A and B are shown apart, each in its own frame.
Chain A
């Protein structure tokens, strides 16, 4: 009786634990597009083994094992119950991946099917193991059941892959019918399809182009960064309605052939190449492979179509030369470059955003936009060039450009505490940080303030890069507020090296204290740069 209770409690605990934990894994499985290989690669890269659950299992094994030898069985049962309770407690405390994190888990029908199948499999295995154990194992060895539990917990990510394999034929059938339905919808609505790809800037370019083309005719674009086949199939089925004249499709290159697949789904008449870079080099193997993967879009655009390429990027430029269309257009931020069809000059940063002059078709169009930073201006040029090529009036586009809003927390200008705030808190990398500092330097203001925890996830470059940027910040800022311990030392050294003494640098243990200090010291006319401030910056490192 005691044994059965013990086993029952343990199996309930592990089932609860699994049901929540598997969701956390499912989020990454989904981000890797349910690709088992890539999911496993992610698993090894982050060493995403379970730790908490396993520790509980081992502890319980020791405790119950010891108790079995020296104490009455009822006390042993308490050990079992505590172990099971601890597992349940961890499950209860586990962050909900559907609600937290930069990229949340979307419970689609497919995700739910995988989740339930995996849970079903797990339930089956636990049942079989428990009954076997119950029937065969003698009292003294009963606590070793916790080793089994540990093993099962460690197997949970693989169960997801297994569940996905089992469901594969069924999923293929469903996907085929969904895909066919999306094709029918697209053929009926028959919009001009604009495909966008690139290592950087495709989501921003899509959003800006959407806002600009919407001034010409109703325009469809997928929200966020949906850029996979099934994601697009879903968007098209649910949201593409009669009346849309343009459809902007963001195309993600996940390997050779993935863009070709998207181009078969939504054959583009216009292609936009924002950047051919080295992002995801490990996935492609070589830079040439990255180029090949992205050039599938240029190949898919018909001879009579339009190809718009970033003239500042050699890879995109090469694509324009290799796959010329009826209209092949180059855009760029370098006005000296005579070969550009659309370029920007006279860039000045003001409190209202960026002032610029766009040159297109022999005319100069001065304008203003709330968007800040070279990368965003490059995306704006890509969108402007494409919209012009599709027949929009440049003056109307300039007007729409003024109404654009930057993506949240990415070089967003706003008024706060009577001061001007540049909110760049979304994330930070050395290039972006330097860009933000340059903007801070150019904006007119009484004092320039920087508040930042520094950059993270830079591996062995972490200290040197933070030191370097701190030195750069010292040349721009009147006061630097450094948050947290992580980069405090590097910043102290870097600021010192840049000539910012103790009077121009303040260190705070956490955000709240820095914020409180800022609210006290800030005065009208100050300019504040929030760099990399959101609390979820540490989230990309999963903990299990």
Chain B
């Protein structure tokens, strides 16, 4: 790939080892397509399901992913080393150039990268793992840091923090797999003795998974047992919450550019009352007839700035979203999902997505003032580069050369 020295090199990382691998590919490719070509040169970096990394312009083509796994043979295998001085992607030695093959001299070659955009959803990419690697490599990256990412993806810890910070959340209980295995009756009794989860119907969710996979509802003790058992196939900790019957889900995106501000409010639409994986990413597009299914969350059915949600609730959601964003200390773009209990007329924060599907651009395009996807990306890239510069400038080498002068 020809590198243009006048452009900022932006590596967009997507795919990964989570159940939301494919959705991440969509988000990643959308970003590659939306980056401002006058300022940035995009380097698509695909992490296959087995965890190997690939880079190259051919990865920007959607058709590539329909030809997996054969297509991977065409890709260039790369990696990001945790050494702090590389400042780019290292091309793995098993893809040698002809001259290297002839000379027998292999050099470690790098693709220079100025900033990384993690576009993962779920485990190993959105939960702080990837952010930890980027920190080790000492590179600039867009979005939340290690702690904010990890907190966001752990539903129980996140609720604990928000609750302490004064953001209303639904009451909850957690069950550990170990406790359940030792004495399921006692573990279940603890749940049913907790205020808020002492009445059916309840929702049981894996504590650490971002998608809707593994979520089950329980209407009696036997169903609760079965739901817990089901969750423990995916996760070590199960989160139990009351099931709000008359529910309206509303989402707000929050961005940290020059300053922190919320987007317009959306109401995702689903038939069942609970957003399933299918609703989120699957056979959507019914609202846009004749359009091909893209798999992009941007094309899911939704109502932007819904008229059936009272204005003060929308304003409250925006304020709470900003508050949550700050409490967790997120960066970049996040999407905060709320549950609006129609009977009690109360709003609860449900969860926060530190890397929302399609970066929630469809909300920003409809906010006032409207922000295009391209402008949105430019803003969070700028902000991330500034943060990195400030971090680099801070004194962190004091204390060295004391014990071994």
Interface positions of A (Cβ within 8 A of B): 214-216, 366-368, 393, 395-396, 398-400, 402-403
Contact = CB atoms under 8 A, between A and B. Distances in A.
B234 to A, nearest CB: 12
B226 A402 contact: yes
Given A215-B232, A396-B229, A402 B183 contact: no
A367 B184 contact: no
B225 A398 contact: yes
A220 to B, nearest CB: 16
A402 B228 CA distance: 11
Interface string B177-189: 0001111110010
Contacts of A402: 222-223, 225-226, 229
Given A215-B229, A399-B229, A393 B222 contact: no
Q: Is the interface of A mostly helix, strand, loop or mixed?
A: mixed
6 tightest A-B CB contacts, nearest first: A399-B225, A402-B226, A399-B229, A395-B184, A396-B184, A399-B226
Given A368-B222, A398-B222, A402-B222, A393 B229 contact: no
B243 interface: no
Interface residues of B, number: 16
A393 B183 contact: yes
Contacts of A400: 226, 229
A368 B182 CA distance: 22
Contacts of B225: 395-396, 398-399, 402
B184 A399 contact: yes
Contacts of A393: 181-184
Contacts of A399: 184, 222, 225-226, 228-229
Contacts of A398: 222, 225
A395 B181 contact: no
Contacts of A215: 181, 229, 232
A366 B230 CA distance: 19
A361 B44 CA distance: 60
Interface of B: 180-185, 188, 222-223, 225-226, 228-230, 232-233
Given A215-B181, A393-B184, A403 B230 contact: yes
Nearest to A400: B229
B73 to A, nearest CB: 23
A215 B226 CA distance: 11
A242 B184 CA distance: 27
Nearest to A404: B226
A367 B222 contact: yes
A308 B296 CA distance: 52
Contacts of B230: 403
Nearest to A214: B233
Contacts of B188: 395
A395 B185 contact: yes
Contacts of B232: 215
Contacts of B184: 393, 395-396, 399
A398 B185 CA distance: 11
A163 to B, nearest CB: 33
Given A398-B222, A399-B226, A399-B229, 15 more contacts: A215-B229, A215-B232, A216-B181, A368-B222, A393-B181, A393-B183, A395-B188, A396-B180, A396-B225, A399-B184, A399-B225, A402-B222, A402-B225, A402-B229, A403-B230
A403 B229 contact: yes
A221 to B, nearest CB: 15
25 contacts: A215-B181, A215-B229, A215-B232, A216-B181, A368-B222, A393-B183, A393-B184, A395-B184, A395-B185, A395-B225, A396-B180, A396-B181, A396-B225, A396-B229, A398-B222, A399-B184, A399-B222, A399-B225, A399-B226, A399-B228, A400-B226, A400-B229, A402-B222, A403-B226, A403-B229
A398 to B, nearest CB: 7
A215 B182 CA distance: 11
Contacts of B223: 402
A107 to B, nearest CB: 19
A399 B232 CA distance: 11
A395 B180 CA distance: 10
Contacts of A395: 184-185, 188, 225
B395 to A, nearest CB: 45
The residue in A396, A398, A399 that gathers the most chain B C-beta atoms within 10 A of its C-beta is A399
Nearest to B232: A215
B186 to A, nearest CB: 10
A393 B184 CA distance: 7
B221 to A, nearest CB: 10
Nearest to A366: B222
A400 B225 CA distance: 8
Contacts of A368: 222
A158 B356 CA distance: 64
Contacts of A214: 233
A214 B228 CA distance: 14
Contacts of B181: 215-216, 393, 396
A285 B180 CA distance: 50
The residue in B185, B226, B228, B233 that gathers the most chain A C-beta atoms within 10 A of its C-beta is B226
